Amino acid sequence: MSATIVVGTRKGLFLIEADHAREAFRLGEPLLPGWEIHHACIDPRDGTLFAATNSWVHGGQLHRSSDRGATWERAEGLGLPEESGLKLGATWHVKPGLADEPGVVWLGAEPACLFRSDDGGATFAPVLSLLDHPTRERWHPGAGGLICHSVTLDPDDPARLYVGISAAGVFRSDDGGGSWEPANAGTAADFLPDDPYPVVGQCVHKVRVHPARPERLWQQNHCGVYRSDDRAASWERLDGNGLPSDFGFGLALDPGDPDVAYVIPEEGAGNRVTSGGRLGVYKTADAGATWELSANGLPEPAWSVVLREAMGFDAHGVAFGTQSGFVYARTHDGPWRETARHLPPVLSVSLSTWP
Amino acid sequence: MAVVRLQSLLAQEAGTRRIEVDAATLGEALRRLPVAGLVLDEHGAVRPLVNVFVDGEREHDLAAPLAQSSVVLLVAAVAGG
């Protein structure tokens, strides 16, 4: 199936059209010049193109386009209540609602806040239950700030959703965002020497629900790779099963096979480049029991940086981008292919098909 | 009416470099801009890296009165990278 690779960069947004075999790629002209695109995606419900746009002068915003990027509108009402004493920082992750939730759009942002839109992203309101969470005083910013960077939905239950916050951990809501429970049992926070397994304070880097088996979640954390098979009630650590490092950011899945996941290990928090002098993607096909290097078609040697949002997937394949401006893609069974080079630093990659 | 002049990203977002605004004060003028959310934060304060000039002078007071002939210039702070 053909696809569009949506690439957010530090200097605008790029769309790469991929053919059916994911062998031929066509790079479009830059969109949204002047904006840093922390994340962008196509809404599978109606083809709206969303971009979490940021400017160090003009703040965190959300743009949307209904004509594949030709024209854009900016969301209204993005901001935090004055009584919170907080101001909105960067916007980090946009997540369209489920197919049977027309108009619902979620937006994760800094400082550890979540917004909901019920009108397709025209206006947003902050989710106060997360803003006022009783454990908030124990949340601390990671290197990217105190950011809500993952919003992932249970496809079978519109009331259940999860957020990932650095460094606070994973939180699950079973009532549509009305309340949130920490969901970090078994995940480590080795940087907290007094309590390496706290209730909150973990530095989750990316968390995703498996779309075909929603009780299963995968997580790339500052301290390990994890899988949960009980809706994040508990987590099993998997990086000791053959990964060169416990540290990384990107996480991709195969919607057709819940046992498949992809990660890109980095040397560690103190040296955030890909492990072993190679751009190595590691794939598991047995739910994390073993991991296999998947580097066919990738350059070597390489000391690359792949950021948390810079790896996307669909039913047919995976794509990721580097801080050095290269974007690679593969089918779930094929070799990696370079799709674009010399882009600005890549901040996000998502794979979508226009509806 | 006062004139607000826009540059760079503000002009790109507004689709114009010049907007006429019927406003008695600087704050009124900024709040009526189609790019108000890029100039002001959610609490109504001028974003710290947006520099505001009225008739050639730096202005920090949103209550400052505007004349019919006033020209407001919005300039983003500049840095490399």
C-beta atoms of A76 and B47 within 8 A: no
Mind listing the pLDDT tens digit for each residue in A253-293?
A: 999 999 999 999 999 999 999 999 999 999 999 999 999 99
| Distance of residue A39 Cα from the nearest chain B Cα, in angstroms | 19
pLDDT at A194: 87
pLDDT in tens, B4-34: 999 999 999 999 999 999 999 999 999 999 9
Q: What percent of chain A has pLDDT over 90?
A: 97
Q: Is A33 helix (H, G, I), strand (E, B) or coil?
A: coil
Which residues of chain B neighbour A131 with C-beta distances below 8 Å? none
ipTM of the complex: 0.95
What is the distance of C-alpha B22 from the center of its chain? 13
The answer to whether the beta carbons of residues A122 and A73 sit under 8 Å apart is yes
Q: List phi, psi (to 5°) of B39.
A: -95, -40
pLDDT value for A2 = 86
Chain B neighbors of A80, CB-CB under 8 A: 42
Whether the per-residue pLDDT at A343 is higher than 60: the answer is: yes
What is the number of CB-based contacts under 8 A between chain A and chain B?
44
Two structure tokens written together for A93: 């992750």
Contact check, Cβ <8 Å, A88/B13: no
Model confidence pLDDT, tens digit, residues A214-254: 999 999 999 999 999 999 999 999 999 999 999 999 999 99
Q: How far is B56 from chain A (nearest CA, A)?
A: 21
Confidence bin at A143 (pLDDT 50/70/90) = confident
As a whole number of angstroms, the distance between CA A218 and CA A287 comes to 9
Cα–Cα dist A314/A260, whole Å: 12
Q: Do the Cβ atoms of B43 and A82 come within 8 Å?
A: yes
Question: What's the rounded Cα separation, in Å, for the pair A134 and A117?
Answer: 24
Is B33 within 8 Å of B14 (Cβ atoms)?
yes
Chain B hits for A35, Cβ within 8 Å: 9
Question: Over pLDDT 70: what percentage of chain A?
Answer: 100
Record the pTM.
0.97
Residue-level length of chain A: 355
